[in-house]
Chain A
């Protein structure tokens, strides 16, 4: 009995530790030039989060600029069509700019201003984080440069134009595989060169310490709201949470406030692409190995010689060979389970939700929906699920149309 209590207590120790480790994962693996700036960032962030004025400013922006709280919506018709548990959707798609990404960029932009930085940079895959960064940069009057892989620029031309309308410079990255990981390499190169006046707004819970913890904290508003909302609407905690995982920021944001609720199962859904056995996927937690990339130790898609492998997903936002170190830790500790959903399954869920609820989900979020439908049947009608609907699907209609042979 006392043994049990002790175990639970230690399991609740706040992570990461002082040097950014989540168990064996995380850390700070960067060239020396960035070590001192990262330490300065950590110190500034610790100071800011303890400052009631900073928290007030953040909450005010989330309420009046982002439009929070986002609704928790009971998807009655979709739940009935699925034929299982009651499924609630956390509507991050209704945020300003159409995804959860803005929660984090508002937080980091406030911190950048507090640190006296006049220029922000970002990497982006699908363009959602780039748009969210360009948006806050416009609002705060900061210079903004967004790095984006040439391949992603082709897939997400609307978002590229949105960023340019917002005054950001979008730099096409033509090195490596020309996708999100290469954009992140290029952003790191920019930061090391302009480290005095520049704040690097990383869009996910990866990167060197303190980014995984800081981005999680800014995104945890999702889970805090969802927890209060489900208690009010369903009168109890949910049986499970389901969220898609690329780098993993929307998933951590939903999971974090539920970690201590041991009866709430956590499911992270990776992109199985054309299938986990085809090699054409982006599922490092399912099929990767431990390695070091972009400043942290985590699960990676890598070859036998430590080279980073190209990834594939229908959804640009999940097309990344690594994953946040806290997810690696949640997997190994058994607190969360990580599953995978193929392009085809995600696409089917995209259509199902659109037709039954009149909600067009992002292809990223459609991965979570597809798994939730399967889980809802397994758990049965008495169960309650929350799915993080992390973004809206307007940006994806060209991808969907192209795949289905329709000219828009």
Chain B
């Protein structure tokens, strides 16, 4: 069983919802990433998404764009991101790590070389934002050869046929994009999300994470009662960006926000379980 599958199986057994923080690797500086990942785990993260900075992050809002620019200014490349994951693995053998980014850096490294390097570094899954299943066959095969899960997005615009197609190739979990927009947007419609999740569950038994637009503990709690995982990105990255040059401050902010979300999510699941019983 992959690290991602094992994590979701354990959470499901305990009746808990996964908390997945997203961090842009190398933001605000390259040495900050591993300590921030460790702090996130200590604050209750179950899986970590590590963003690979890219010059043209077309699906991201201004917060993550700025984080990419800060990381790139420090010369953070895909190879260096893999080194960071390897360093994180030296102290944490349990928490799954998913790389999230755009196709071009992977394309230039070469799929086989990338998959081998990512597997060796201790990466568990790869979410390539601009690689839909229509074009992903070669990369899926390369990832599979190294036991890596391809993670795919499902969107509010995805038809049932597309959801089926995506879920047929997805492994690990499915990432439902909660709104039409870029990362960090602010118009979350929990009822609408719940309806879509029911439709996705009719197609797949994979765990479903929800992200884009979940920025605080109350929103996380509402999503926790309907999803298998809550992804928080821009809200964290904004706090990290505000503490550039102040490592302790950044770690404290990450710990605070994730801690609040963790408690609110567990309370929501506890309340739901109590109401059910």
Question: Which of A's residues lie within 8 Å of B, judged by CB?
Answer: 19, 27-37, 175-176, 181-182, 185, 188-189, 192-196, 289-295, 297, 300, 302, 304-308
Contact = CB atoms under 8 A, between A and B. Distances in A.
Nearest to B60: A189
16 contacts: A27-B135, A31-B155, A32-B153, A32-B177, A33-B153, A35-B155, A35-B158, A36-B155, A185-B56, A192-B180, A295-B130, A302-B104, A305-B108, A307-B55, A307-B72, A307-B105
B105 A306 contact: yes
From A29, A194, A293, A308, name the one whose CB has the most chain B CB atoms within 10 angstroms: A29
A193 B157 contact: no
A192 B180 CA distance: 6
Nearest to B57: A185
B156 interface: yes
B154 A32 contact: yes
Interface residues of B, number: 44
A302 B108 contact: yes
A291 B107 contact: yes
Contacts of A29: 103, 130-132, 135
B172 to A, nearest CB: 16
Contacts of B60: 189
Contact of B135 (A28, A294, A308): A28
Q: Which of B60, B105, B132, B156 has the most CB of A within 10 A?
A: B132
Contacts of B106: 306
B152 A195 contact: no
A193 B55 contact: no
B109 interface: yes
User: Closest 8 interchain pairs by CB?
Assistant: A306-B105, A306-B108, A305-B77, A33-B155, A32-B153, A193-B181, A32-B155, A31-B59
Contacts of A28: 132, 134-135
Nearest to A186: B58
Given A31-B59, A36-B157, A189-B60, 10 more contacts: A19-B134, A29-B103, A36-B162, A185-B58, A292-B103, A295-B130, A297-B107, A302-B104, A306-B78, A306-B106
Contacts of A185: 56-58
B182 A193 contact: yes
Given A302-B108, A306-B78, A306-B107, A31 B56 contact: no
Contacts of A34: 157
Given A192-B59, A291-B108, A36 B135 contact: no
A30 B61 CA distance: 15
B155 A30 contact: no
